[in-house]
């Protein structure tokens, strides 16, 4: 034997030795499947990575006790080590069931990040490979359950998926034993995007116009003005094709899309397979520059690897997206109601601060200058929603990070701890900036909606808890881009009136996790009950930032105690109804596909009971009508009429009844008081009013829709029922204020530079006709035009009596708005008494009785 070994080559000796080790191991140890034991006894870690944190161990033990459940949701704060936990869960499951397992990330950057972490802990992972012909293939380690496949959610969920698609022979269906979704919120968006066909007018003009022409008459009935705006290319005008018109034209749409289902048209080629057999259960949205065709329910059944996976795991920092997990991804409702929760008492220190909230006269430009100064000795990252918000930062010298270079730029951040001043556009999630990669993070502006369907949520589901919860979740995800571990620290600066306005409303704060609520409560109220000058406020900001950046021990201990107490101190909004609604909606849509009327009725009855009297009431009746349209057209139209009466931004029914009586509205004082009491601080009110005032400007340079939106918000702030009918149909007035005894029909002409033209008076007449067609009580109507001039052009005729808020009157209004804002900012909003608020409204002529007479003048002829 000894002679035989000596005679072997070195490679053979090593092979022999390795074989003996494996043989010995297989006969002396049972297969380990407990994830903690696997980590401690089987995996070979790199130096310094040979331990689990207490919270990681706790979650893994809880998961191990429930490992036979198909769907499991785990909740852990950002930076608490979710990636390692997810890898161990999948590796453990692969050891147990001997079937392929896959870790799904929202983008390629996170794929690389997960693989890097796996190598530190000795967890075997692999990625999809390309063979010699360039075809993507699964590595054998994945197929043989020897390694965790790490890939993007998009690789799984698309019409040409390597995992296989129902009805397609391009790929065999890949069996999946267990899958884990990291950043489920982002993956839901990916699934929706990959199930949606988006047609851009500038890229496929013929197809765009063909589809628009098919629905010309249906859209004209919804609003001739809106259709004209779409044909002119106005991107802000969005209409949903009435579902009955969509159903009637499915054959034509199918043929058009089939003709474009080629590699030359990737927007259709990679998505069409997912919805081609289910177009009649899709919705269509059209704007001036794009068309979207998207399913009512994401067709997860067309990706069997996902739908039939034996085990599915979700790891998240928040369950704010539980509605989408149930409705869109089909995750079991019981797993959402019973998540694995682990408290994280070591999450790193985050100071959330808003300079403008400390003193309202601190300008955005001053904040940008301060951040630029900080970038000289630390790394500063800014997240903005769009190019408009990015521009002033770029002007200050910040570098815009582009998607194609993001990995290289993040590597630069890793290698340097200062002098990086960077801007991310609409990246509220999916980027991790640990430790010195980012010490100051700026969130400048509310995240904006990306799809047409999402954008229509604003008028369709105004102030819905669901839409607000999504906003809060996205903001919290943005805050989580920095502070990625228990030893990390960062300052988060909040800017922009829309963002500050959202977080300053008390009911919105409950939409955040308790830890973020605590951070907001402390950081945004640093000067509570203390009056400071602007100069003092800036010094307070600098001192606070310095304390956090130095990671001073007093601050770290204070922050730790604050977070430890947060779970008991702060309440979260009760999401029980939302969870139930998500389940009912999913069931109702599936029943609609199967034409099961009783199941539709049973689920929708439960939904309408839960949403009765809420801002979602109208939308839910439209949803109900849409589901019933195929099986009971008459009932569907009755429900659509009920939806439209609750919210006239929704689809106009075929059975629309004119001359409805005006709905009575509660008195202004009680509504004004509600608006005031929704804010936490008087400064928040001042910021809100200042933002409104800044957009009430007669100038051709100010986008007219911003002016109209500001005037709509002013009406709401003053306690009136304020809407923008023109946003829905382009046929009504720009604004409509319903008061207790008067209805203001308002046309806004802020871009005009001359006297009132004939076209403008005709638009005023059109708006008054709109009112008379819909409402019986004409004596309540008061037409008003906002125009720099109160003089008519020679060829203009005022067929209807109307008054004008001219330039001098608008300045008076803005001056008085500043006055009432100043007084309201002097004490806590909930301290104001009814008689005090009534006195303020009267003093500044903002009450119903005097508003029109004081701020308007009669139209005159030149």
751-795 pLDDT per residue, tens: 999 998 988 988 898 899 888 888 877 789 999 999 999 988 888
pLDDT class of 604 with cuts at 50, 70, 90: very high
The whole-number pLDDT of residue 558 equals 94
The whole-number pLDDT of residue 378 equals 94
Residue 122 lies in a domain: yes
**Local structure of 103: helix, strand or coil:** strand
Residue 356 lies in a domain: yes
In the predicted model, is pLDDT for residue 176 greater than 60?
yes
Residues 389 and 355 in one domain: yes
The whole-number pLDDT of residue 728 equals 55
pLDDT class of 659 with cuts at 50, 70, 90: very low
- Backbone torsions φ then ψ of 314, nearest 5 degrees: -125, 125
Residues 308 and 336 in one domain: yes
| Highest-scoring range by mean pLDDT, 178-187, 209-218, 749-758 | 209-218
Contacts made by residues 651-658, CB under 8 angstroms, sequence distance 24+ = 651/222, 651/240, 651/242, 651/243, 651/622, 652/221, 652/222, 652/223, 652/242, 652/729, 654/244, 658/773, 658/774
In the predicted model, is pLDDT for residue 319 greater than 60?
yes
The whole-number pLDDT of residue 6 equals 41
CATH number of the domain encompassing residue 688: 3.40.91
CATH number of the domain encompassing residue 71: 3.40.50.300
Number of structural domains (the chain) is: 6
The whole-number pLDDT of residue 81 equals 82
| 2 CB neighbour count, 10 Å cutoff | 6
Q: What is the mean pLDDT of the chain?
A: 89
What DSSP line would sit under 230-282, residue for residue?
Answer: HHHT-TT-EEEPPHHHHHHTHHHHHHHHHHT-STT-HHHHTTHHHHTT-GGGE
Contact 273, 302 (CB under 8 A): yes
Taking the C-alpha atoms of residue 29 and residue 296, their distance in angstroms, rounded to an integer, is: 52
Residues 693 and 588 in one domain: no
Residues 310 and 424 in one domain: no
Q: How far is CA 90 from CA 15, 102, 149, in A?
A: 30, 7, 10
The whole-number pLDDT of residue 432 equals 82
In the predicted model, is pLDDT for residue 660 greater than 60?
no
Residue 133 lies in a domain: yes
| Highest-scoring range by mean pLDDT, 207-221, 462-476, 637-651, 772-786 | 207-221
**Local structure of 423: helix, strand or coil:** strand
Residue 661 lies in a domain: no
The whole-number pLDDT of residue 800 equals 63
In the predicted model, is pLDDT for residue 27 greater than 70?
no
The whole-number pLDDT of residue 486 equals 75
In the predicted model, is pLDDT for residue 13 greater than 60?
no
H/E stretch holding 292: strand 290-295
Residue 656 lies in a domain: no
What DSSP line would sit under 344-366, residue for residue?
Answer: -S---EEEEE-HHHH-TT--HHH
pLDDT digits (tens, 9 = 90+) for 88-126: 999 999 999 999 999 999 888 889 989 999 999 999 999
Q: How far is CA 211 from CA 214, 236, 270, 782, in A?
A: 5, 19, 20, 40
Structure tokens at 503: 């977080």
What DSSP line would sit under 127-167, residue for residue?
Answer: --EE-TTS-EE--HHHHTTSSEEEEEHHHHSSTT-TT--TT
Residues 131 and 9 in one domain: no
Taking the C-alpha atoms of residue 778 and residue 233, their distance in angstroms, rounded to an integer, is: 35
The whole-number pLDDT of residue 151 equals 97
- Work out whether strand 440-444 and strand 489-495 pair parallel, antiparallel, or are unpaired: parallel
Q: Report the pLDDT averaged over residues 271-276.
A: 94
In the predicted model, is pLDDT for residue 83 greater than 60?
yes
> Pick from 601, 573, 577, 569: which is nearest to 588 by CA?
601
- Work out whether strand 148-152 and strand 101-105 pair parallel, antiparallel, or are unpaired: parallel
pLDDT digits (tens, 9 = 90+) for 524-559: 888 887 888 999 999 999 999 999 999 999 999 999
Determine what percent of the chain is predicted with pLDDT higher than 90: 62
Structure tokens at 595: 């034409």
Count Cβ neighbours within 10 Å for each residue of 634-652 and write b for 16 or more, e otherwise.
eebbbbbbbbbbbbbbbbb
Q: How far is CA 309 from CA 176, 180, 315, 472, in A?
A: 5, 10, 17, 31
Last residue of a domain, one of 569, 592, 616: 569
> Pick from 586, 154, 71, 142: which is nearest to 334 by CA?
71
pLDDT class of 28 with cuts at 50, 70, 90: very low
Q: Report the pLDDT averaged over residues 193-216.
A: 96
Which region holds residue 430: left if phi is over 0, alpha if psi is between -120 and 50, else beta? Answer: left
320 vs 809 pLDDT, higher one: 809
Last residue of a domain, one of 544, 569, 594: 569
Which ranges in 570-630 belong to alpha helices (H)?
576-593, 597-611, 617-628
Taking the C-alpha atoms of residue 708 and residue 736, their distance in angstroms, rounded to an integer, is: 10
User: Which residues constitute the domain of residue 7?
Assistant: 1-30
Residues 823 and 694 in one domain: yes
pLDDT digits (tens, 9 = 90+) for 120-131: 999 999 999 988
Last residue of a domain, one of 569, 586, 619: 569
In the predicted model, is pLDDT for residue 720 greater than 60?
yes
Q: Report the pLDDT averaged over residues 52-73.
A: 94
Q: How far is CA 295 from CA 184, 271, 617, 782, in A?
A: 19, 11, 22, 43
Q: Could you give the dihedral angle defined by the CA atoms of residues 111, 117, 119 and 124, in that order, rounded to the nearest 10 degrees?
A: -60
Residue 380 lies in a domain: yes
Taking the C-alpha atoms of residue 273 and residue 160, their distance in angstroms, rounded to an integer, is: 7
Residues 627 and 771 in one domain: no
In the predicted model, is pLDDT for residue 505 greater than 50?
yes
Taking the C-alpha atoms of residue 507 and residue 677, their distance in angstroms, rounded to an integer, is: 10
Residue 508 lies in a domain: yes
Residues 477 and 586 in one domain: no
The whole-number pLDDT of residue 4 equals 41
Taking the C-alpha atoms of residue 15 and residue 6, their distance in angstroms, rounded to an integer, is: 14
Q: Report the pLDDT averaged over residues 19-26.
A: 64
Q: Report the pLDDT averaged over residues 727-746.
A: 85
**Local structure of 618: helix, strand or coil:** helix
- Sequence-ordered list of residues with C-beta below 8 angstroms from that of 732, at least 6 positions apart, any chain: 725, 726, 767, 770
Residues 508 and 622 in one domain: no
- Work out whether strand 340-341 and strand 101-105 pair parallel, antiparallel, or are unpaired: unpaired
Which ranges in 338-425 belong to alpha helices (H)?
355-358, 364-374, 387-395, 406-415
In the predicted model, is pLDDT for residue 197 greater than 70?
yes
Residues 712 and 827 in one domain: yes
Contact 769, 826 (CB under 8 A): no
In the predicted model, is pLDDT for residue 730 greater than 80?
no
Count Cβ neighbours within 10 Å for each residue of 72-99 and write b for 16 or more, e otherwise.
bbbbbbbbbbbbbbbbbbbbbbbbbeeb
The whole-number pLDDT of residue 26 equals 55
pLDDT digits (tens, 9 = 90+) for 358-373: 988 899 999 999 999 9
Residues 320 and 376 in one domain: no
Taking the C-alpha atoms of residue 198 and residue 272, their distance in angstroms, rounded to an integer, is: 11
Q: Report the pLDDT averaged over residues 731-753.
A: 91
In the predicted model, is pLDDT for residue 718 greater than 80?
yes
Taking the C-alpha atoms of residue 171 and residue 128, their distance in angstroms, rounded to an integer, is: 14
> Pick from 743, 752, 810: which is nearest to 783 by CA?
743
Residues 124 and 155 in one domain: yes
Residue 83 lies in a domain: yes
pTM: 0.85
**Local structure of 715: helix, strand or coil:** helix
Candidate from 291-295, 481-485, 509-513 with smallest mean pLDDT: 481-485
């Amino acid at each position: 034997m000894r002679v035989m070994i000596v005679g072997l080559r070195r490679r053979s000796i090593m092979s022999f030795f390795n074989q003996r080790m494996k043989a010995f191991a297989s006969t002396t140890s049972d297969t380990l499947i407990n994830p903690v034991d696997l980590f401690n006894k089987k995996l070979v870690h790199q130096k310094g990575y040979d331990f689990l944190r207490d919270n990681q161990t706790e979650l893994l033990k809880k998961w191990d006790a429930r490992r036979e459940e198909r769907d499991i949701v785990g909740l852990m704060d950002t930076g608490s080590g979710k990636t390692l936990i997810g890898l161990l869960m999948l590796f453990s499951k692969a050891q147990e069931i001997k079937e392929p397992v896959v870790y799904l990330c929202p983008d390629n950057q996170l794929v690389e990040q997960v693989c890097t972490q796996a190598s530190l802990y000795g967890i075997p992972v692999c990625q999809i490979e390309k063979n010699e012909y360039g075809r993507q293939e699964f590595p054998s380690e994945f197929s043989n359950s020897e390694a965790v496949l790490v890939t993007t959610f998009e690789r799984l969920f698309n019409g040409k998926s390597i995992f296989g698609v129902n009805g397609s022979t391009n790929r065999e269906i890949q069996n999946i034993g267990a899958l884990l979704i990291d950043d489920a919120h982002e993956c839901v968006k990916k699934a929706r995007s990959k199930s949606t066909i988006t047609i851009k007018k500038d890229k496929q003009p013929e197809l765009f116009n063909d589809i628009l022409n098919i629905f010309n008459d249906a859209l004209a009935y919804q609003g001739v003005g809106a259709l004209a705006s779409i044909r002119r290319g106005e991107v802000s005008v969005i209409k949903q094709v009435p579902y009955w018109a969509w159903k009637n034209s499915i054959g034509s749409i199918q043929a058009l899309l089939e003709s474009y289902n080629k590699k030359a048209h990737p927007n259709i080629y990679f998505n069409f397979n997912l919805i081609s057999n289910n177009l009649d259960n899709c919705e269509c949205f059209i704007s001036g520059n794009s068309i979207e065709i998207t399913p009512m329910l994401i067709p997860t059944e067309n990706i069997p690897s996902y739908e039939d996976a034996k085990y599915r795991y979700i790891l998240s920092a928040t369950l704010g997206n539980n509605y989408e997990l149930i409705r869109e991804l089909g995750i079991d409702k019981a797993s959402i109601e019973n998540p694995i929760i682990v408290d994280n008492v070591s999450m790193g220190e985050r100071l959330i601060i808003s300079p403008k909230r400390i003193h309202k006269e601190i300008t955005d430009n001053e904040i940008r200058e301060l951040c630029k100064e900080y970038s000289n000795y630390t790394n500063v990252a800014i997240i903005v929603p769009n190019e408009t918000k990015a521009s002033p930062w770029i002007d200050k010298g910040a570098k815009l990070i582009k998607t194609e270079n993001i990995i290289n730029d993040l590597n630069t951040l890793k290698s340097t701890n200062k002098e990086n001043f960077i801007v991310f556009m609409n990246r509220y999630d999916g980027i991790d900036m640990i430790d010195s990669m980012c010490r100051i993070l700026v969130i400048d502006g509310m995240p904006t909606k990306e799809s047409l369907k999402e954008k229509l949520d604003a008028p369709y589901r105004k102030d819905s808890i669901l839409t607000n919860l999504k906003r809060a979740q996205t903001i919290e995800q943005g805050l989580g881009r920095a502070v990625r571990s228990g030893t990390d620290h960062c300052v988060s600066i909040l800017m922009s009136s829309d963002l500050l306005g959202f977080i300053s409303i008390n009911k919105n704060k409950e939409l955040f996790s308790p830890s973020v609520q605590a951070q907001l409560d402390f950081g945004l109220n640093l000067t509570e009950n203390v009056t400071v000058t602007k100069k003092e406020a800036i010094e307070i900001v600098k001192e606070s930032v310095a304390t956090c950046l130095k990671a001073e021990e007093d601050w770290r201990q204070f922050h730790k105690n604050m977070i430890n107490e947060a779970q008991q101190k702060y309440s979260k909004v009760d999401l029980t109804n939302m969870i139930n609604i998500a389940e009912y909606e999913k069931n109702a849509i599936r029943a609609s596909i199967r034409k099961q009327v009783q199941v539709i009725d049973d689920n929708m009855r439960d939904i309408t009971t839960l949403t009765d009297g809420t801002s979602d009431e109208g939308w839910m009746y439209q949803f109900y009508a849409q589901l019933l349209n195929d099986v009971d057209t008459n009932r569907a139209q009755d429900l659509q009429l009920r939806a439209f009466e609750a919210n006239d931004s929704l689809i106009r029914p075929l059975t629309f009844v004119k001359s409805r009586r005006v709905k009575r509205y509660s008195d202004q004082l009680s509504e004004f008081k509600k608006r005031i009491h929704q804010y936490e601080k008087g400064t928040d009110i001042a910021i809100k009013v200042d933002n409104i005032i800044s957009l009430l400007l007669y100038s051709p340079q100010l986008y007219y829709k911003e002016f109209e939106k500001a005037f709509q918000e002013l009406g709401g702030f003053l306690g009136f029922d304020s809407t923008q009918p023109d946003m829905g149909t382009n046929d009504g007035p720009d604004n409509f204020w319903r008061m207790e005894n008067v209805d203001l029909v308002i046309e806004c002409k802020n871009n005009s530079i001359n006297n009132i033209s004939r076209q403008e008076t005709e638009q005023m007449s059109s708006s008054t006709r709109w009112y008379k067609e819909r409402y019986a009580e004409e004596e309540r109507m008061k037409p008003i035009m906002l125009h720099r001039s109160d003089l008519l052009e020679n060829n203009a005729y005022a067929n209807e009596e109307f008054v004008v808020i001219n330039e001098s009157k608008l300045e008076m209004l803005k001056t008085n708005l500043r006055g009432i804002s100043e007084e309201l900012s002097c004490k806590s909003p909930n301290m104001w008494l009814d008689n005090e608020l009534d006195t303020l409204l009267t003093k500044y002529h903002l009450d119903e009785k005097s508003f029109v007479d004081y701020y308007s003048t009669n139209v005159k002829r030149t």
